[in-house]
Chains A and B, each alone.
Chain A
Amino acid sequence: MTESRVAQPPTNIVYLDANATTRTDPRVVDAMLPFFSGYFGNPSSKHALGGHAARAVKHAREQLQALVGAAHPHELIFTSGGTESANTAILSALEAAPRRREIITTAVEHPAVLSLCAWLEKHKGIRVHVVPVDRNGHLDIVAYREALSDRVALVSMMWANNETGVINPVADLAELAKEVGALFHTDAVQAVGKCPIELQSTAIDMLSLSGHKLHGPKGIGALYVRSGAAFKPQIKGGQHERGRRAGTENVPGIVGLGMAAELAAEAMADEDIRVRGLRDRLEREILARVDHCVAVGARAERLPNTSNIAFSYIDSEAVVTLLDRAGIAASMGSACSTGSFEPSHVLMAMKVAEDTVRGGVRFSLSRDNSDDDIDRALAVIPGVVAKLRAISPFDADDGPLLGRAHA
């Protein structure tokens, strides 16, 4: 067996961007390596190498089943990642119920959902109900109930928000969807591995997850589809994945995802407490040391690892850039929306004040973080904010839009 030659991450970087991606766990890499050049068989082949790969895929499916509490391993379809899973869920639901021409989603979904919904609305005439959230990130349940009808094919609501970590009560929301006969999909990319999930005891029909968010490899994910739920394959070809997703399986990726799932299940309870403690200390100290900033969504139930601090009068891109220069890796929010001229759609939906909404910086932790990381981050963050505020033409004495126009 090939010995692992995994490059260690640079030790001088404090990595606080785990919601973008996590370091692949060395144990995951070790599990994957034999399937690149040793046991490289195609799981569909009937010879011994193929059989070995097929058994590895089966084992990984069971590992993942255990993590999400599915009733059967075959309810999990391996995909290329969260975006493919979410896209498949939405397109499948519309195809499975052609007379239902409406979708319900939320204003704070990931672009993997919102972009497709916008496209469907524009090009396919699908009516999309976008349910708003309040200042704390809580879903407007009244608006959700009003949008539900027998015209709705699918409700797609994220389990936990990628920018703020705010958790939706998806099990309850799925029950409501069932009352009108709609399918319910949840984008659980950020929740899987961080929250206990027991799908078989809920009414959730579909769930999307991604390997690299839980210390697995990139380019692999899964879509849970409840047994009996209507499903229409979106990638057609061979009979892979019981005919539901054609294409030769990414065996090393699948094996890695399975191992990542097993490791996450083992560590979840302890890491919840430890990482939550680190996150809370980071957040508490920033709020104590820096004026004019807010922890977005802090009043809601949140993922244990996520803190979104919005700094007034400065721009998050500049904060993240200067933090990067100082060896602290954080994020402006969703990495996927980098380059947009608008502030974070999540923070806008949560009605963060106009002088603050562009200053949202996401700090997201993982099992790799330590107390020392938090100390090092806290030693840098207040100074970076102060430096940018010293340059900024806006401050607390200004009107929100006037700046110092008359100077």
Chain B
Amino acid sequence: MLDHLARLDEHVSSPRNAGVLPQANAVGSFGTLRWGDAVKLMLRVDPQTDRIEQARFQAFGCSSAIAASSAVTELIAGKTLDEAGGFGAADIADYLGGLPPERMYCAVMGYEALQKAIGSYRGIAELGEADAAPSCKCLGVSQMMIERTIRFNRLTSVEEVTHYTKAAGSCSSCFKQVEGLLARVNADMVEDGLIESREAYRLGSTPQRAVDLKPHGAPQPATNIFAAKAAPAHLRAAPKSPPPRPAPAPVAAGVGVDAPSQATLIAQALDELRPHLQRDGGDCELVSFEDGIVYVRLSGNCVGCQLSSVTLSGVQARLVDKIGRPLRVVPVS
């Protein structure tokens, strides 16, 4: 992994535009600690011209993730948002002189963060991706992210899907699901004329490796960690934001809770998280807990925030860790 090309190597050793951009007016984040990589892209956009005056990043992950993030900031500097929005993962990789195939997810991460930053500037609502069941439970890769990555990058093999999204790259227990998704999206791509039918993936053409062994008492797999993002306009119609669910009637302590100790643990976990949200001017209160669903109410800056789905998935992951069983966190009005 260390025999990178010269330009990539340069961006690893001396990343450009690293650090916080305090005057940013467009911010996009993608990934988390659990996924293993994360980037936060901060842009200063001229409101008169929609031109990106300055771009900076913070990145967690491997050297390629840092280099890809650095590359994005160089690539989009001075561009208009429309121009920047047209850059894909391949452009980011090309800018670096290529990425190792198994590190293409780093370029995808840069692309996703860029789209989110542009979306945040334009006030485009995000998709409710964080609430969807992840296709890859170990790494929390959502079906929607896999689908758009296949389509946007014209992927036609399971190996490529893993390289671009990490899905099925861990225990491979989601292999069949990813394979099915690839076959379905490829079929759509053939219909749309994006690929030839002979290129489309055929089910069963990739052998599945053995599933890793896990000891008894192993940690629960990760929940969905991806933030929602607006899909590229040319790939799909922008869906409407789902209406807020009606709040269940508040319940007395212990009522509607399958075990009082779990409710207590949930309340404790939320209390631990709230200072982090309050620091950013938001908040998250527990409304109730029923049938494995934790209903919460977001307030302050969390309401309408482009990244509220990231927050919710983080809350969900924390609660899953605390309780030790799958839970869903659902926002209510």
Contact among B1, B36, B65 for A343, CB-based, below 8 A: B36
| Contact between A405 and B227, CB atoms less than 8 A apart | yes
Instruction: Return B34 CB to nearest CB of chain A, in Å.
Output: 6
Docked complex Cα distance between A42 and B315 (Å): 66
Q: Mark B29-73, 1 if CB is under 8 A from A, else 0.
A: 100111011111010000000000000011111110110000000
Are B215 and A391 neighbours in the complex by a CB distance under 8 Å? no
Count residues on chain B whose CB falls below 8 Å from chain A CBs.
65
In the complex, A314 Cα to B169 Cα: how many Å?
21
In the complex, A399→B319 CA distance in Å? 13
Shortest C-beta distance, B10 to chain A (Å), equals: 11
- A contacts with B, residue count (CB < 8 A): 54
Q: Is the CB of B63 within 8 A of A317?
A: yes
Query: Which residues does A use to contact B, with CB under 8 Å?
Result: 105-107, 114-115, 117-119, 121-123, 128, 130-132, 143, 313-315, 317-318, 321-322, 324-325, 338-343, 345, 348-349, 351, 354-355, 358, 388, 390-394, 398-407
B203 at the interface (CB under 8 A from A): no
Decide: A107 and B169 in contact? CB cutoff 8 A. no
The 4 closest A-B pairs by CB, nearest first: A406-B280, A401-B314, A393-B58, A132-B215
Query: For the complex, what is the distance from the CA of A391 to the CA of B19, rounded to whole Å?
Result: 6
Q: Which B residues are in CB contact (< 8 Å) with A388?
A: 66
The answer to whether B195 has its CB under 8 Å from any CB of chain A is no
At the interface, yes or no: B139 with Cβ under 8 Å from chain A? Answer: yes
Q: Which of B153-161, B240-248, B303-311 is the interface stretch?
A: B303-311
In the assembled complex, which residues on chain A have CB atoms less than 8 Å from the CB atom of B301?
Answer: 406
In contact, B212 and A114 (Cβ under 8 angstroms): yes
A340 to B272, CA, bound (A): 32
Inter-subunit contact A128/B217 (CB<8 Å): no
The answer to whether residues A122 and B211 also contact, given A315-B60, A315-B61, A403-B32 and a CB cut-off of 8 A, is: yes
Which single member of A128, A324, A393, A399 contacts B276 (CB below 8 Å)?
A399
Interface status of B145 (Cβ within 8 A of chain A): no
B102 close to A (CB within 8 Å): yes
User: Is B99's beta carbon under 8 Å from chain A?
Assistant: no
Q: Which residues of A contact B148 (CB under 8 A)?
A: none
Q: Which residues of B sit under 8 angstroms from A324, Cβ to Cβ?
A: 2
User: Bound state CA distance, A348 and B214, in angstroms?
Assistant: 11
Q: Does B18 count as interface, using CB distance less than 8 angstroms? A: yes
A318 near B61 with CB under 8 A, answer yes
- Are B13 and A402 within 8 A (Cβ)? no
Please state if A341 and B36 are interface contacts (CB–CB under 8 Å). yes
Residues of A within 8 A of B58 (CB): 391-393
Selected contact of A122 from candidates B29, B62, B210, B227, CB within 8 Å: B210
Q: A405 and B311: CB pair below 8 A?
A: yes
For residue B305, which residues in chain A have a CB less than 8 angstroms away from its CB? Answer: 406
